[in-house]
Chain A
Amino acid sequence: MTTVIETQDLTKHYGPVVAVEGLNLTLSRGEVFGLLGPNGSGKTTTILMLLGLTDPTRGSVRVLGHDPSRNPLQVKRRVGYLPDSVGFYDELTAQENLRYTARLNGFPRAETEGRIAEVLTRVGLSKVLDRRTGAFSRGMRQRLGLAEVLLKRPEIAILDEPTAGLDPEAAMEFLSLIRELRTQDITVLLSSHLLHQVQAVCDRVGLFRQGKMVLEGTFESLADRVLGGAYRIRVEVLRPDGVEPVLRGIPGVRNLVEERPGSFTLEAQADCRAEVARRVVGKGADLVNLTLERPSLDEVYTRYFQEVGRET
């Protein structure tokens, strides 16, 4: 797999404020990477450094083999960027806005109109292409921003908070547009503070806190490491005497909590519902509920910092 983005010890200070500290990040072609963390954790700053829009205090960046501070034009020609709270020229139509982008990129005039029509269709804005963007809703703006990214036929798409401010339905629609990018071999780097919303589209995530990427990996591996298991099983039992030890003994169970008498939550590395059922029934208890829950990334995040907090 080819590496398309690589940073080493990437650091950005704004005076005394540490925005990003010692970031080592590697992205391979075609993956969807989520840069996740609460507001102010350094996601946007990281993205701006990847695009050469702000210079790092320390460390190195390579994007598609170029240093974005030295050679920003090469990078920006091949990387599409959808900024956080994207804006357009209100008095121009959607089409005219994209035409300006096409001119700035120096696309051949003969191709421009066709490409604009194509990308507007792809994001579902072909009906409003000659409407002024001043009248666009937040969701439409966001999709127009994605159309602009696609117009470049980029190798990498960097999307900053693509779902922030969208209603849940619009957010889901937008995420499915992002998912489609993957099929075209476009590497996607997206940032979000809404962890649960984007966890489904990301192949891999990096969790940020106060400028540092504290956890990185696939969602399963993080859940495994932090929650002790990516599978959470809820068990409800009548007459629970003696059930707890046998549940604890199930191979792969990392943790067990009895919330109320007869109501257990298990954290396991695998889906062991069959074994749970067998053991409960074997003990002569009545099994009334058995459900599998996938924990969310928010929980991983919260739990991780609870534990870090306890240790320090």
Chain B
Amino acid sequence: MRREGSPWTGLWAVVMKELADHLSSVRMQLLEGLIFLTALGATYGAVRQLKASVAEDPYLYLKLFTTAQDPLPSFVAFLGFFLPLAAIALGFDSINGEHNRHTLSRVLSQPIYRDALLLGKFLAAMFTLGVSLLALWLLVTGMGLLVLGVVPGVEEVARGLLFLLTAWAYAGIWLALAIALSVIFRQTATSALAAIAVWLFFAIFWDMVVQVISAAAVPAYSGSPSETLAHIRLSLFLSRLSPNTLFAEIVLALLNPAVRSLGPIFITQLEGAVLGTPLPVGQSLLLAWPQFTGLVAGLLLLFAGSYVLFQRQEVRA
């Protein structure tokens, strides 16, 4: 049946309302405070480390993101850990929260489609995450400028911005997951726990699962090189089902210009290559492109799933 009227009627109203909610919510402020402090700590650690070591690195600015100093992990590692949490915190009660507050039927009886409500909530949370990320990025860049005195080149800034975009998409996939779970479960506690369970699963257990499965499917070290290759390919494929792997690989390619491959390489492919020479930013992007599209595709898939479920859901509590 064809519906009449734009599905985006009222979208802007929803976005503004949700944005105001996020920016004023204690939940978000706590989380942002936490992220800022840890990011500050990580960057400070990196700065000290970099100051102590050779100052002649051509990509000193990018090193700010990736250098870790014990006991602090790098800025990138921090983001990989905390972004999912922030995204889940913003999205886990999107729809079931409206159910529980008995506001859903009231809002949907206004002249808007459900599309506008769901997308509006998604966009507002994405915007909030984007603003936080941008602030973090500026913080790191500023610290680099002030303390290390590095002035990043155009190429490096481009890499930094692409990294920012990647982190945003990575946060988006967790947000889409949290929203999908908020459509599926009626209790906000259940959807929050489910989202955190998925996050823990990928953060901690997925690597083990990958090893177990690929070892079971293709016995490693059986001798023949083709079997070894199959083994590596399988475990690579499996581990790329995790958004964390995708994020890590894109970041690796973007922030290390010297990285020329994200998978196994044959010696023949290296013919004529000068090992260790950095790639231009366009080439690094190309290298990470499949991973990046994978991340975005996962995001869209999850969002489409929650959209379909939400369209069919009964509005009454």
Contact = CB atoms under 8 A, between A and B. Distances in A.
Interface of A: 44, 48, 51, 53-54, 69-74, 76-77, 79-81, 83-91, 100-101, 103-106, 145, 148
Contacts of A87: 101-103, 106
B304 to A, nearest CB: 21
Contacts of A73: 4-5, 9, 111-113
B105 A53 contact: yes
Contact of A81 (B3, B10, B109, B314): B109
Contact of B13 (A53, A86, A104): A104
B161 interface: no
Nearest to A148: B106
Contacts, number: 87
Contacts of A79: 109
Given A54-B315, A87-B101, A74 B5 contact: yes
Interface string B1-19: 1111100011011101100
B61 to A, nearest CB: 42
Given A48-B316, A103-B17, A74 B106 contact: no
B109 A105 contact: no
A105 B5 contact: no
Given A72-B113, A101-B110, A83 B102 contact: yes
Interface of B: 1-5, 9-10, 12-14, 16-17, 21, 101-103, 105-113, 314-317
Contacts of A106: 9-10, 13, 111
B112 A104 contact: yes
A71 B3 contact: yes
Contacts of B101: 87-90
A89 B101 CA distance: 7
Contacts of B12: 103
A104 B3 contact: no
Contact of B109 (A70, A71, A83, A89): A83
Contacts of B16: 103
Contacts of A71: 3-5
A105 B2 contact: no
Nearest to A160: B105
Q: Which among B10, B108, B113 has the greatest number of chain A C-beta atoms within 10 A?
A: B108
Given A48-B315, A89-B103, A90-B101, A69 B109 contact: no
B14 A104 contact: yes
Contact of B102 (A51, A54, A85): A85
Contacts of B111: 72-74, 76-77, 104-106
Given A103-B17, A104-B10, A70 B108 contact: no
B109 A51 contact: yes
Contacts of B113: 72-73
A86 B102 contact: yes
B11 to A, nearest CB: 10
B103 A88 contact: yes
Contacts of A80: 109
